[in-house]
Structure 1
Amino acid sequence: MQSKEYWFGLPKHLIWGFVAIAIFMAGDGFEMAFLSKHITDMGFTPAQSAVVFTMYGLAAALAAWASGVVAELITPQKAMTIGFVLWIVMHALFMSLGLGLRNYPLMLLFYGIRGLAYPLFIYSFMLMLVQVLPRQHLAAATGWFWAMYSIGIGVVGSYLPSLTIPVFGETGTLWFAIAWVASGGLLAFFSLRHVPVDRSRVNLPLRDKMTELSRAATILFTNRDIFYACLIRIINTLSLFGFAIVMPLLFVDRLGFTISEWLQIWAVFFFVTIFTNIFWGITGEYIGWIRQVRWFGCLGMAVSSLTFYYLPVYAGHNFLVALIPAVMLGIFVAAFVPMTAVFPTLEPHHKGAAVSIYNLSAGMSNFVAPAIASALLPFFDIVGVVWAYTGLYIFAGVLTLIINVPQPKRVRQQAEARKEEAQQRA
């Protein structure tokens, strides 16, 4: 049965949804590794640039928090449609009235509102996975989800601009992003509209819907393990979002790399995560979700974050040496993939609320990373930001010793499944 419906953990009936995530996030990621420098090149300070990303991250965190429950209340398909339309409108306003007029308040406004869009699109699809896939396939499927995310935001989103910027410039490349987002949104709309999702909460009275929405906040206080898992997931991608802001300042401004070289280094990091997301998604089923997060995620990211700074500083303008920490970061950041399955497992009766907390955590990482950077850069420079991220990864490793996740290894799961089948036959 599994070989017919899944390909190395990828659910074949949802394959175009995964492709849509990759295309959408490619457009969303065009600006990721150069927009901060583009803003400073326009005359704004590095701190002002970091604030733009902080506002974006705050909006993304709010949208991520609400997306799980919102998608459950209106269906994931409708939530994804709202997300991609909102992205296109706000990006056009950000480009024309924000960057186009060099109006800092409008940059904050429109880029901030655009931050609501991508979490609503991608995390609604994640809820769809939670709703339609059996638990034993969820971690592997979310590994594919993050692989598509990496292909989009990292590989295509970073590498393609390195080719288009010399031809069309940074502004033309930013406008080009709309075509990718629109293509991904339309593909998702037409390919997923008939997927049989859970509609049990769609017709609830408004009061009940508000109660369910509020549960996406209250379970942080009623479920201790959800709270700890939330902190771990926030820390998970600090380097991903933070290094995209601070490392161009190191590589381009101080070490002499060109913007295209930096974008290619960043693309290599994401290229590695395509494979490691799938690898860790499957491996976590065998060695244990939290054990993997502790030793390979938290400890691996602590070492990789320090290496990403100190190795290039020591080696100078050496492209091949700079690829080493990028590869390391790509290997270990993906070890957190099983956290997607951890949340609904910790709150099985309210999966939408649990996924919302997961999404909130992911969105908060998008907010916390630049917030730490903007707070520490004026006083401790880039190295202070790197050490702050490293310390938080170590802290997350300590939290994994406290959290209690009822997840047996796959071998034990298979044994239990065989036992249940034998009992049913008897």
Structure 2
Amino acid sequence: MNINQGFLGKLGMDSKMAMGYFGVMLFMIGDGLEQGWLSSYLIDNGLTVQQSALLFSTYGFAVAISAWFSGVLAEVLGPRKTMAMGVVLFVLGTLIFLLVGLPTMNLAIMLPTYALRGLGYPLFSYAFLVWLTYYAPAEKLGTAVGWFWVSFAAGLNVLGAYYSSLVLPYLGEMKTLWSALVFVAIGAILAIVLNKDDGSNRKKFESKAEMMKYLSKGITIAFERPKVGLGGIVRTINTAGAYGLVVFLPAYMIEIGFTRTEWLQIYAALWTSNVIFNLIWGVVGDKLGWRNTVMWFGGVGCAITIMTLYYIPLYMGPNYWATTIAAIIFGACVAAFVPLSALIPSLAPENRGAAMSVLNLGAGLSTFVGPALVGLFIGSVGTVGILWIYSGLYLISALIMRFVTLPKDEVVGGVSAKTQAVH
């Protein structure tokens, strides 16, 4: 199972899996095209900041549940079936949300349907990530998952935001939301139908009882392997701040003097940087150590740089380029958590899918925790207080990473565990 030695192979992207990468990117454009502006749209149309935060938190909780089980489902059902299940749930949730929920602004309808939509993308994208962890050789695993996060973040946070900034003035909010289904349909065809690897490395089970026992592994492994559980906590913190920003920071930026288009471009620049550095940190992690990359560039880096998103506009006003540079640096630091996707499965090589389920749960929980912190504390501590809370969490993640180490005699990613343990 060697990485193809052609052009894609030299980049660390196997040609058999290339369609899957592109499919994930298109699917995530459809999922994330409203991320940078939906909250402000809802608030402008009658919801409070707290109600908007509740909607995003409920969505995040659904994402967390789906993400938790995506890894083991990918092994039990196979990645293709798991991904197809994700497509169905996303489409169903989107249809009801757009046909009934948004036109009535009825929160009782919006909450469950937007949550149903949230069940879809983890099953699609994270099942593909599990597929990769089995397919890619150990010495290229950091780079392979780096390419996954490039595709994921490019769709969810960059191309979706840029697409919205271009089409919103012409299509309006509702038609822009409907266009998501086009991206999802094309992405599903590429990743599920046209992707070349057969996914035959999934686990085989003797009975339904054995299958159900393995499904529970997605929960129990966090306790059987405490370092896997710690990795899940760090992954939760990783993007909690980044996803929480969309609930309250647009209002702050517009109050400072930025236009909505400028804010969307700043937000897209943040994630453009993240996409580029997803791959860079994957390669760096393979060379210098997965844990060290996450701890210093991720935890400590994010703790410092997230605060610039408040203080630079505060003291410099609506300075587009200065704020964009601050967003770019923060986005690069958020990407430095990428080696977790290589480190955590390596802590449980016999149960990679279950270990990835814990990591995926953390990714899903971040979409819940980030907005939930806004809903809980925005009224009492304001914008700057929320950002300081996120900064503190990033420092805690760096501290936790001190304890997430590989066995001393294991060599992965071209770096021995002994080297990875060096601070």
> How would you bin the TM-score normalised by the shorter chain?
over 0.9
For 1:6-405, what aligned pairs fall within 5 Å after superposition? 6-192=9-195, 194-201=197-204, 203-252=205-254, 254-405=255-406
Report how many aligned residue pairs link the two structures: 411
Which AA in structure 2 matches 1:126? L
Which AA in structure 2 matches 1:59? A
Of 70-79 and 311-320, deviating more is 311-320
CA distance in 2, matches of 1:93, 1:7: 44
Cα shift at 1:197: 2.8
CA distance in 1, matches of 2:135, 2:332: 29
Given the superposition, is the C-alpha separation of residues 314 and 17 from structure 1 closer, same or farther in structure 2, using an over 3 Å criterion?
same
**8 A contact 1:30–1:157 mirrored in 2:** yes
CA distance in 2, matches of 1:208, 1:411: 35
| Over 3 Å off, 4+ runs | 406-413
Where 1:248 maps in the other structure, the secondary structure is: helix
CA distance in 2, matches of 1:57, 1:284: 28
Of 184-193 and 94-103, deviating more is 184-193
Given the superposition, is the C-alpha separation of residues 340 and 54 from structure 1 closer, same or farther in structure 2, using an over 3 Å criterion?
same
| Residue 421 of structure 2: aligned partner | none
- TM-score between both structures, scaled by the size of structure 2: 0.94
CA distance in 2, matches of 1:30, 1:325: 22
CA distance in 1, matches of 2:92, 2:331: 32
Which AA in structure 1 matches 2:213? T
CA distance in 2, matches of 1:289, 1:194: 27
CA distance in 2, matches of 1:42, 1:225: 45
Deviations 1:250-285 (A, max 9, x none): 112x11211111111111111112211111100101
**8 A contact 1:305–1:329 mirrored in 2:** yes
| Residue 423 of structure 1: aligned partner | none
Deviations 1:140-164 (A, max 9, x none): 0110111111211122100110111
Deviations 1:47-82 (A, max 9, x none): 000000000000000000001001110100111111
**8 A contact 1:286–1:409 mirrored in 2:** no
Cα shift at 1:412: 5.0
Cα shift at 1:171: 1.5
Which AA in structure 2 matches 1:80? M
**8 A contact 2:78–2:199 mirrored in 1:** no
Identity of counterpart residues, as a percentage?
Answer: 37
Structure 1 unmatched runs, 5+: 414-426
**8 A contact 1:131–1:197 mirrored in 2:** no
Q: CA RMSD in A?
A: 1.5
Deviations 1:314-358 (A, max 9, x none): 111121111011111121111111000111111111111111111
CA distance in 1, matches of 2:393, 2:173: 34
Of 22-31 and 204-213, deviating more is 204-213
Given the superposition, is the C-alpha separation of residues 412 and 294 from structure 1 closer, same or farther in structure 2, using an over 3 Å criterion?
closer
- TM-score between both structures, scaled by the size of structure 1: 0.93
| Residue 420 of structure 1: aligned partner | none
Cα shift at 1:190: 1.5
